[in-house]
Structure 1
């Protein structure tokens, strides 16, 4: 999820979530500028994708992939889920933890390219060219913005590298992102690397898990109201500037039989809220998202103590999550975890 750069803290510098950007859901076939398939041979290459108004053609599977930070783990997690870690020559994405066993450790083992990052905690133009990539992945178009010191997509093309902006990343605003965009990212990587069968198996398993959760949840007249925010992170001027208002998290909450307590607080992804506004809102549960914070539960407990009037505080209802809450291959884990916490009698 794009944030103000430079950011107030190193943590905030790497956030995405929610990781990609604006437009309609990826189910719309790309009307918003998200990636759609223009022409794919059923027998393999060449593979051509329309991506943010550009045509990217792949004559073979990329073998030198650079994954830009972009405050995301969507791209590196997707590659790992598809078994493509050996294709990565430089990765700058990490949340420090994951709901998928072994994923955080696997990310730590990936090469970084020994790059000196710029003020946006990402790979500058000269260093990018020196990595000799044949594919560069960015969660939004920000990663290809020349005025911020990055290699443009045209410059990458000149040195033989394709480029890819993740679904909903074309407008640098993830407020309309849904779980369908995570599936689009899987499908696109499956096509680019000729592993579509793997991608479809992952998507089918995720859809099956979410459907099973939905079938167990007893629909209530009013879904539990959930506050979702990043632990110990500042991205605005108010006391609570990392509260999520819109984006893929709202879709995850809905699939888990919950609602976002602050969905109406902002039209953008984040709501920059005062302590008074937070105190005046009924919150039934708190979901703290950890971004390289080893103690997210401590932050959640601090919140509940600070707002004892919340139903969440009275019932001690909180949970901590990480990469499953964002664009990426593991949204079903977030849906299942939240649903089990909020609807324990259904499981």
Structure 2
């Protein structure tokens, strides 16, 4: 997911954060003239209402350390609407997704120090729809075009409802329902709700089948770590509170560090990691040359883990975050954690 130094690393999972949204109500009309068939539609986003008289055709996707938004657009068949995309991750469980993202236009933009699109460059793109990973992507103090700036040039704005707050914060209980909401919101905005509902229904059916297969089994205990995203101490990127807990639970797995922090990362000490009951290691591939080698290194360091004795690990990438592919993460985790039922 796009780099941003410390903010980028935290933002790589900011798609999972959720805080209270603003309460004011405004309306931004991205076009003029008569509404297209099926329009107008109104979306409430982060406490404000946005009216669309037709499907957006000049879409800009900000970075923010996510691929949830660009991946959702691609899953909905809307890649041709994107005039500038700043999101990338370099790995995906979806065949062809990495190449598809790489082929999207970037708008020729020189990104700022946060590896994102600064205000003047954004205005110069003349978008009619701008997606930010979180609401902070529209803050003037960070050098970004505000929602008001963009409304003034006829552009509507959106960030996933689960990420209306600050980068790195988590409130509520993140779940794959947040991913479904993102798809449904975009489906409504672009007039392709039928596609969105099909994606959601297919994912739900797959997840339900997996849950049924593992429901009678004891939950395996897992540790999730993102080796390429350490932000200080060696274990600062051990997962705590985020969407991955719901993903694990649906795969018949329990995050041993889920309750260690109310933030996305637990940041345990080496001693705490050594004492943890780890039956499954989940390695999230973020800019890693060899995720399997990352797992092997941890097994060598902590041979007392059952996971180390069994060499039990799974490598995931974008499917573990907010986005259209959580069912793939659930499937892969379940197959490794409970191979006896598959």
TM value normalised by structure 1: 0.90
Shift of residue 55, structure 1, vs aligned partner: 1.0
Q: How does 1:43-82 map to 2 (within 5 A)?
A: 44-82=38-76
- In structure 1, C-alpha distance between the alignment counterparts of 2:320 and 2:96, rounded to whole Å: 17
Instruction: State yes or no: 1:16 paired with 2:9.
Output: no
| Residue of structure 2 in register with 1:334 after alignment | 329
| Residue of structure 2 in register with 1:243 after alignment | 238
TM value normalised by structure 2: 0.91
Match for 1:161 among 148, 155, 166? 155
Match for 1:224 among 220, 223, 245? 220
Shift of residue 159, structure 1, vs aligned partner: 1.2
- In structure 2, C-alpha distance between the alignment counterparts of 1:21 and 1:54, rounded to whole Å: 19
Q: How does 1:303-314 map to 2 (within 5 A)?
A: 303-314=298-309
Instruction: State yes or no: 1:124 paired with 2:118.
Output: yes
Shift of residue 174, structure 1, vs aligned partner: 4.0
Match for 2:85 among 64, 80, 91? 91
Q: How does 1:1-347 map to 2 (within 5 A)?
A: 6-7=5-6, 12=9, 15-16=12-13, 19-23=15-19, 32-33=20-21, 44-172=38-166, 173-174=169-170, 176-220=173-217, 222-235=218-231, 237-347=232-342
| Residue of structure 2 in register with 1:28 after alignment | none
Indicate if the aligned counterparts of 1:324 and 1:331 stay in contact, CA closer than 8 A. Answer: yes
- In structure 2, C-alpha distance between the alignment counterparts of 1:269 and 1:2, rounded to whole Å: 18
| Structure 2 unmatched runs, 5+ | 24-34
Indicate if the aligned counterparts of 1:239 and 1:273 stay in contact, CA closer than 8 A. Answer: no
| Structure 1 unmatched runs, 5+ | 24-31, 36-40
- In structure 1, C-alpha distance between the alignment counterparts of 2:313 and 2:128, rounded to whole Å: 43
The alignment partner of 1:273 has SS state of coil
Shift of residue 321, structure 1, vs aligned partner: 0.4
- In structure 1, C-alpha distance between the alignment counterparts of 2:179 and 2:320, rounded to whole Å: 11
| Residue of structure 1 in register with 2:28 after alignment | none
| Worse overlay, 48-57 or 198-207 | 48-57
- In structure 2, C-alpha distance between the alignment counterparts of 1:2 and 1:101, rounded to whole Å: 20
Shift of residue 15, structure 1, vs aligned partner: 1.1
Equivalenced residue count is 330
Q: Alignment RMSD, CA only? A: 2.4
Q: Kindly provide the CA deviation profile for residues 48-70 of structure 1, in whole angstroms up to 9, marking residues without a partner as x.
A: 11111111111110011111111
Shift of residue 290, structure 1, vs aligned partner: 1.1
Q: Kindly provide the CA deviation profile for residues 16-64 of structure 1, in whole angstroms up to 9, marking residues without a partner as x.
A: 25x24214xxxxxxxx5499xxxxx9x6111111111111111110011
The alignment partner of 2:225 has SS state of strand
Indicate if the aligned counterparts of 1:95 and 1:290 stay in contact, CA closer than 8 A. Answer: no
Shift of residue 154, structure 1, vs aligned partner: 0.8
